[in-house]
């Protein structure tokens, strides 16, 4: 069989699965050129993956003196050396290709691009395996003229890479959304998950193959086949669900009243320029400059200039001009208020009240404030 035919047969499964995933992206089709670019980045990331795997195997065999036929070596090699190395390289290939691109604006886009990267990786890996086995002669056993190695990898390895890419892409999209919302911790968490979760699935697949190769037991292959079929069925359901629920990243800000939102005025922040509803400069009831009952310049009962019992100029028992009131310094949860026998005095840091009344002036004619230069009216 000619080399061109072998390459064609090796590439068909990866390209076919990529087309299936692309069709699922119904709300906002991604540019084909950018998908091809990500696919190529996936092909190129096989180089650092191979370097990492070779280095990892050297550490295990020559650094830790582990036997290649031991169970410990097989498990560490499958889950850490191979799985983590490959999933890390595929994730960063997609990140380098599209992370800062404006086209990456939907959650499902992460799945499309990461599957593209994963299948680019799988395509080159498939070509290398096909030529390796055809050169040794063992891979030239055919079924209906197609090499057995091509059929085996088309049914097992290529779908596994695609599913891993889909899982990477799911967390990849969540990480991008968290970055847009200013949640750096959330972004970091989901980027880590985009490597670790698919690495577990990848490690199970490789571990069964490696154990079968050193023990000769068919049971590992049977388990691997059942595992791949189960994961593929789950992946079909999952990807359809994600495609249906797809939305732009910024729609989270519009539809979720508890989302962290861009705030040009500052205010309560989980990141630069973001606020939660009800804080800072956001005109939520009861806060900031919003004249909600009981706050700011609004003369609600019991506050500011309103002569309600117990506040302001009203000499109610225990407040204001009543010398019997003498609470501990630091009243009002450490906002800087201090008292002595004459009420509000001694406090040279009244910036909090100044800020609160910056929109409408200070409370008028409060004798306790005026005597200490805290109640000047504007």
What would the pLDDT profile of 202-222 be if each residue is shown by its tens digit? 999 999 999 999 998 899 999
Q: Percentage helix, strand, coil, to 5, in the chain? A: 60, 5, 35
Residue 154 confidence (pLDDT):
86
**Structure confidence at residue 355 as a pLDDT band (50, 70, 90):** low
**Structure confidence at residue 130 as a pLDDT band (50, 70, 90):** confident
Instruction: Tell me: pLDDT of 277 over 80.
Output: no
CA angle 362, 367, 370 (to 5 degrees): 55
HSE-CB of 140 using CA atoms within 13 angstroms? 8
- What tokens were used for 319? 């407040």
CB 101 within 8 A of CB 37: no
Question: How many Å apart are CA 133 and CA 127, to the nearest integer?
Answer: 10
Decide if 177 is inside a domain: yes
Give the largest Cα separation in the chain, rounded. Answer: 103
Mean pLDDT of 160-181: 95
Range of the domain at 208: 3-249
> Which of 176, 175, 243, 177 lies closest to 29 in space, CA to CA?
243
Decide if 363 is inside a domain: no
CB 57 within 8 A of CB 81: yes
| Residue positions counted in the chain | 378
**Structure confidence at residue 142 as a pLDDT band (50, 70, 90):** low
What are the backbone angles phi and psi of residue 343, rounded to the nearest 5°?
Answer: 100, -135
Decide if 243 is inside a domain: yes
Decide if 190 is inside a domain: yes
Instruction: Tell me: pLDDT of 126 over 70.
Output: yes
Question: How many Å apart are CA 334 and CA 348, to the nearest integer?
Answer: 14
- Give the number of domains in the chain: 1
Q: What is the pTM of this model?
A: 0.65
Determine what percent of the chain is predicted with pLDDT higher than 90.
Answer: 50
Decide if 162 is inside a domain: yes
For residue range 287-346, what is the model confidence (pLDDT) as tens digits?
444 444 444 444 444 444 444 444 444 444 444 444 444 444 444 444 444 444 444 444
């Amino acid at each position: 069989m000619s080399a061109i035919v072998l390459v064609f047969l090796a590439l068909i499964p990866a390209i076919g699965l990529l087309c299936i995933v692309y069709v699922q992206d119904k709300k906002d089709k991604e540019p084909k050129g950018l998908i091809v670019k990500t696919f190529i980045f996936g092909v190129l990331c096989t180089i650092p993956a191979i370097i990492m795997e070779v280095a990892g195997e050297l550490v295990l065999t020559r650094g830790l003196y582990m036997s290649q036929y031991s169970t410990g070596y097989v498990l560490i090699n499958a889950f850490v050396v191979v799985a983590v190395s490959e999933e890390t390289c595929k994730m960063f290939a997609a990140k380098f290709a599209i992370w800062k691109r404006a086209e990456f604006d939907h959650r499902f886009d992460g799945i499309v691009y990461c599957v593209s990267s994963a299948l680019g990786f799988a395509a080159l890996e498939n070509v290398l395996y096909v030529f390796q086995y055809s050169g040794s002669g063992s891979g030239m056993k055919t079924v209906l003229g197609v090499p057995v190695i091509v059929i085996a990898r088309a049914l097992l390895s290529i779908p596994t890479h695609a599913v891993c890419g889909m899982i990477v892409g799911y967390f990849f999209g969540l990480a991008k959304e968290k970055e847009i919302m200013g949640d750096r911790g959330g972004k970091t968490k989901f980027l880590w998950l985009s490597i670790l979760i698919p690495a577990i699935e990848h490690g199970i697949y490789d571990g069964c193959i490696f154990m079968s190769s050193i023990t000769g037991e068919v049971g590992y292959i049977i388990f691997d086949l059942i595992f791949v079929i189960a994961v593929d069925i789950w992946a079909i359901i999952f990807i359809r669900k994600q495609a249906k629920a797809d939305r732009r990243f910024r729609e989270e800000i519009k539809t979720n009243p508890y989302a962290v939102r861009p705030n040009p005025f500052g205010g309560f922040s989980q990141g630069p320029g973001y606020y939660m509803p009800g804080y800072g400069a956001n005109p939520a009831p009861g806060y900031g400059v919003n004249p909600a009952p009981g706050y700011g310049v609004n003369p609600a009962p019991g506050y500011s200039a309103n002569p309600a019992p117990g506040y302001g100029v009203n000499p109610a028992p225990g407040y204001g001009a009543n010398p019997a009131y003498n609470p501990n310094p630091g009243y009002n949860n450490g906002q800087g208020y201090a008292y002595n026998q004459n009420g509000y005095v001694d406090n040279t840091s009244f910036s909090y009240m100044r800020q609160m009344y910056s929109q409408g002036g200070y409370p008028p004619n409060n004798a306790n404030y005026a005597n200490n230069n805290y109640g000047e009216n504007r």
